């Protein structure tokens, strides 16, 4: 399977802090790669470099065979690589209707008729048509994140970057959003990178998981190793233990 994303020796510094310390990774085309780690481990910085939100970095980054330089991203790149952010409360303009929010990428990328595309985008993420003329504050957290996913999918990207897309949602809604993302990724053949501090969330969607700590990749795990608890690094062991604790609490609460 060919690579959609290749990163070699990526280093990012914020002043004296080294957020990424020479990491290398490959995301296979059409597959989902998970990156997991505690807050501050550098996982979200990887996505920010790919989208051009980090202006200064060192290393080599290739997306679709194209080598990236600094923060420059042209319109074709932005159409092909889309991102869903962590907070659905902050990523949608509070004074714009859902119609206006979804119309923006249609206008920027000249995608076609909003009257046709917006209802279809809402249907693709399981939202009713009447959501179109509501404001974000009139929707639940899960509905807002579905709108954010619909917005990211409108340009028909080949790569979807997911920055903790369920962490701001109620536990009862997290599985719904993850299952939606899995279905979309498989149906459209998207390359996805899912970042989270929750190992259970990442393992649910991604067959391959990278564990990060202090700007470095400390372990690479496939789903079989995770299911068997075959982990080596102390960071991965801590994440596995935390994941089991959360699942146990959720199971007890549901009784």
Residue with tokens 């159409």: 79
Is the pTM here over 0.75, yes or no? yes
- Domain assignment present for residue 152? The answer is yes
- Domain assignment present for residue 251? The answer is no
Domains in the chain, number: 1
- Domain assignment present for residue 252? The answer is no
- Domain assignment present for residue 87? The answer is yes
- Domain assignment present for residue 22? The answer is yes
Q: Where are the alpha helices (DSSP H) in the chain?
A: 43-51, 75-80, 98-109, 114-124, 141-153, 171-188, 199-205, 223-228, 234-253
Angle between helix 114-124 and 141-153 (nearest 10) = 130
Mean pLDDT of the residues in the chain: 90
Q: Helix or strand or coil: residue 43?
A: helix
The whole-angstrom separation of Cα 198 and Cα 247 is: 11
Beta carbons of 205 and 32 less than 8 angstroms apart: yes
State the pLDDT at residue 243: 66
- Domain assignment present for residue 161? The answer is yes
Domain that holds residue 85: 3-245
The whole-angstrom separation of Cα 188 and Cα 183 is: 8
State the pLDDT at residue 31: 96
Residue with tokens 């889309």: 82
Token readout for 181 is 């993302």
The whole-angstrom separation of Cα 102 and Cα 106 is: 7
State the pLDDT at residue 145: 95
Q: Which of 39, 38, 5 is nearest to 23 (CA)?
A: 5
The whole-angstrom separation of Cα 81 and Cα 192 is: 10
Rg (CA), the chain: 18
Q: For the chain, percent helix, then strand, then coil, each to nearest 5?
A: 45, 25, 30
State the pLDDT at residue 88: 81
Which stretches of the chain drop beneath a pLDDT of 70? 1, 242-255
The whole-angstrom separation of Cα 182 and Cα 204 is: 9
What Å distances lie between residue 17 and 42, 60, 215, CA to CA?
A: 11, 20, 10
- Domain assignment present for residue 184? The answer is yes
- Domain assignment present for residue 253? The answer is no
Domain containing residue 145: CATH number = 3.40.50.300
pLDDT tens digits for range 117-148? 999 999 999 999 999 999 999 999 999 999 99
Q: Helix or strand or coil: residue 104?
A: helix
State the pLDDT at residue 244: 59
């Amino acid at each position: 399977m060919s690579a959609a994303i290749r990163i070699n020796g990526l280093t990012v510094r914020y002043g004296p802090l080294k957020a990424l310390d020479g990491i290398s990774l490959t995301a296979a085309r059409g597959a989902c790669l998970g990156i997991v780690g505690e807050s501050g481990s550098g996982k979200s910085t990887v996505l920010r470099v790919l989208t051009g939100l980090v202006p200064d970095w060192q290393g080599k980054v290739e997306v679709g065979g194209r080598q990236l330089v600094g923060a420059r991203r042209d319109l074709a790149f932005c159409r092909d690589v889309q991102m869903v952010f962590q907070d659905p409360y902050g990523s949608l303009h509070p004074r714009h209707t859902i119609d206006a929010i979804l119309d923006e990428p249609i206008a920027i990328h000249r995608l076609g008729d909003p009257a046709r595309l917006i209802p279809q985008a809402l249907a693709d993420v399981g939202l009713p048509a009447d959501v179109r003329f509501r404001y974000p504050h009139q929707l639940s957290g899960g509905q807002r994140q579905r709108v954010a996913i619909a917005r990211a999918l409108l340009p028909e990207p080949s790569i979807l970057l997911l920055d903790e897309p369920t962490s701001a949602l109620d536990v009862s809604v997290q599985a719904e959003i993850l299952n939606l993302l899995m279905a979309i990724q498989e149906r459209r053949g998207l390359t996805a990178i899912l970042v989270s501090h929750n190992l259970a969330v990442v393992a649910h969607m991604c067959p391959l998981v990278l564990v990060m700590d202090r700007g470095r990749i400390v372990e690479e795990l496939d789903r079989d190793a995770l299911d068997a608890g075959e982990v080596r690094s102390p960071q991965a062991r801590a994440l596995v233990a935390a994941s089991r604790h959360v699942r146990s609490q959720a199971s007890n609460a549901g009784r």
